[in-house]
Amino acid sequence: MADASVSSWVIAYAAVLFIGLSKAGFGGGLGMLTTPLCVMAFGSKDAVGILLPLLCAGDAFTLYHYWGKWEKRNVILLLPGVLLGVLVGVQLIGHFSARQFNIVIGILAIVFVVFQLTKERIFAAESAFKPNHKIALPFGVGIGITSTFAHGAGPVAALYLVPQKLAKEVFVATNILIFTCVNWIKMPFFVLDRTMIDVPVLAAHALINKETLLKSLILLPILPIGVWVGVWLNRKVSEKVFMRLVYLFTFLTGLHLIFNFNFGVLFGR
C-alpha cells in the first residue's frame, strides 16, 4: 500500500464513511461524494474498482433493514434499460484519460447538487408520476451508463423516483434495491478481463483485482460505523443544515475535479 499517502487514506475513509451515512438514510447526497473523493485519493484508474465491493456491502446491509418495503414494479421496469446501459457503460471504460474521467465525475457531482436544490420546486405542483415502460427504458439506460462509468447514477435515479412522490421508507427501499441490482449486474465486467470475455459487446476490464480488493477490505470496517453514525445523526442533527454543507462540499469537489485547482498555491507550495 506504499502507493497511497496517509492523506489519501484519510480521504478514502471519509468517502466510505459517507457511503454508510447515506445508506442509513441520513444525508442521502453524501453518496455522490464517494467517487470524487476516491478519485482524489487513489486516482481514476483504481477508484471505481475499489468502490464497487464496498457499495455492494452497503446495499446488502441496508436491504436487511428495508426488506420488502420497496416498490418492486419500479425495478422490473428499469432492469431492461439498466442492462443495456451497463453494456454501453463498459464500452466507455478505458476510452477516457484520467483527466477526462475527472471532468465527467465533476460534472455529475455539480448536476446532482443543482438537482437536489431545485427538485422540490420543480416537482411540488406536479401530481404523482406513474412509471411506465416508455419512461423507464431511457432512465434505466442512463442509470446503467452513469453507474458503470462512475458510480454516479444517483441523480438519474432520483429524477425517476422523486416525481412518484413515494413514502420516504418506500423511496429509500426502492432506491437501494435498484442499485443492488445495478451493482451486481456490473460486477462480472469489473472482475473479469478481456482475455476471459472475447466478445466486444461484453467488454470486461478487470477493474477489481487483488490490489483494489485489498484496499476495499481495508476500508470496509468504516462502513458499518458510517451506518451507526448515520442513525445517531438522524436523531441529533438537523438534516437540512447538514445537507447544505454536503451540497457545498460536493459542489466544490466537482469544481476541483473539472478545473483541477492547485490548492498548494494557497499554502505557498
- Domain borders along the chain are 6-267
Torsion angle of C-alpha atoms 150, 153, 155, 159, degrees rounded to 10? 150
pLDDT for residue 9 is more than 80: yes
Predicted confidence (pLDDT) per residue in 20-67, tens digit: 887 766 655 566 678 878 888 887 778 888 999 998 998 888 788 788
> Phi then psi for 93, rounded to 5 degrees?
-65, 130
Query: Based on the number of CB atoms within 10 Å of its own CB, is 81 exposed (0-12), middle (13-18) or buried (19 or more)?
Result: buried
207 contacts 50 by C-beta, under 8 angstroms: no
Predicted confidence (pLDDT) per residue in 129-178, tens digit: 687 888 899 999 989 988 887 777 777 787 788 778 777 778 878 888 99
Please work out, in degrees rounded to the nearest 5, the angle formed at the alpha carbon of residue 19 by the alpha carbons of 189 and 105: 60
Output the pTM of the full model: 0.75
**Which element (helix H / strand E) includes 129?**
none
